[in-house]
């Protein structure tokens, strides 16, 4: 990557993960839990959202290893016990982040498709936005703790047996190591690539460009 491309990539990644986390907090607040607001996390100011591992070390390591670069903001605090309907609302709060990434990807794709006379830089910026947000949305739906998909799965298990839900949540503290291993082994990317290619074509109308991500 050229220096300018790296700067643009970091900018898009940073604000994509911030929108993701703020969405969690806003939906949680609407459903009864104001923890994120009281913690000062319902802001687009990047400083409160920067996480040493997810925002700096993980992207740097993946870039150094030649793997597709992913990142994360500091998770917005949510007290799921404050939610009016914990099992249902946990699903809604957890899906808010990935849904926001898919919405950002769709908006960027629409602008790309229906803006005549786009410069090469403008087109590249929009395609990078689509790609990054699709990857973030799909990645977070993987049902491995502490990703959002794991909370959705835990809530579904809770509809069967509440003890299963809380038992599953206990794995969150160890799940990050499993996510890390799956990333380094390339397993997660092999899972994500097929839906990524399909959704990218749907949102942009073109095939996935080589070297974009």
The two tokens of residue 203 are 């949102």
Task: Give the total number of structural domains in the chain.
Answer: 1
Residue pair 195/103 in contact (Cβ under 8 Å)? The answer is: no
| 21, 29, 162, 172: the active-site residue | 21
Look at residue 140 and tell me if it is in a domain.
yes
Look at residue 209 and tell me if it is in a domain.
no
Residue pair 157/163 in contact (Cβ under 8 Å)? The answer is: no
Look at residue 212 and tell me if it is in a domain.
no
pLDDT in tens, the chain (213 residues): 566 777 788 888 889 999 999 999 999 999 999 999 999 999 998 888 988 777 777 777 777 766 667 778 888 999 999 999 998 999 999 999 999 999 999 999 999 999 988 898 899 899 999 999 999 999 999 999 889 999 999 999 888 887 888 777 777 777 878 888 888 788 888 899 999 999 999 999 999 987 666
Domain that holds residue 37: 3-204
Look at residue 80 and tell me if it is in a domain.
yes
pLDDT at residue 93 in the model = 97
State yes or no: is 29 an active-site residue: no
Residue pair 62/72 in contact (Cβ under 8 Å)? The answer is: no
pLDDT at residue 176 in the model = 79
Look at residue 210 and tell me if it is in a domain.
no
Please list, residue by residue across 69-101, b when 16 or more beta carbons sit within 10 angstroms of its beta carbon and e when fewer do.
bbbbbbbbebebeebeebbebbbbbbbbbbbbb
DSSP three-state, residue 76: coil
């Amino acid at each position: 990557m050229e220096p300018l491309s790296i700067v643009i990539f970091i900018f898009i990644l940073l604000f994509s993960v911030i929108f993701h986390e703020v969405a969690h907090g806003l939906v949680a607040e609407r459903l009864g839990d104001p923890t994120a607001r009281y913690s000062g996390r319902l802001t687009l100011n990047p400083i409160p959202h920067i996480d040493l591992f997810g925002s700096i070390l993980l992207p740097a390591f993946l870039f150094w290893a030649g793997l597709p670069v992913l990142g994360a903001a500091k998770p917005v605090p949510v007290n799921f016990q404050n939610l009016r309907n914990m099992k249902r609302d946990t699903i809604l709060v957890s899906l808010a982040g990935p849904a926001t990434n898919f919405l950002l990807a769709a908006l960027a794709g629409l602008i790309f498709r229906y803006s005549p006379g786009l410069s090469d830089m403008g087109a590249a910026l929009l395609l990078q936005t689509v790609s990054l947000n699709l990857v973030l949305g799909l990645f977070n739906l993987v049902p491995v703790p502490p990703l959002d998909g794991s909370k959705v799965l835990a809530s579904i298990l809770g509809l069967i047996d509440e003890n299963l839900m809380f038992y599953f949540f206990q794995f969150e503290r160890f799940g990050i190591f499993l996510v890390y291993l799956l990333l380094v082994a390339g397993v997660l990317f092999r899972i994500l690539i097929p839906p990524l290619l399909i959704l990218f074509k749907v949102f942009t109308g073109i095939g996935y460009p080589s070297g974009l991500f």
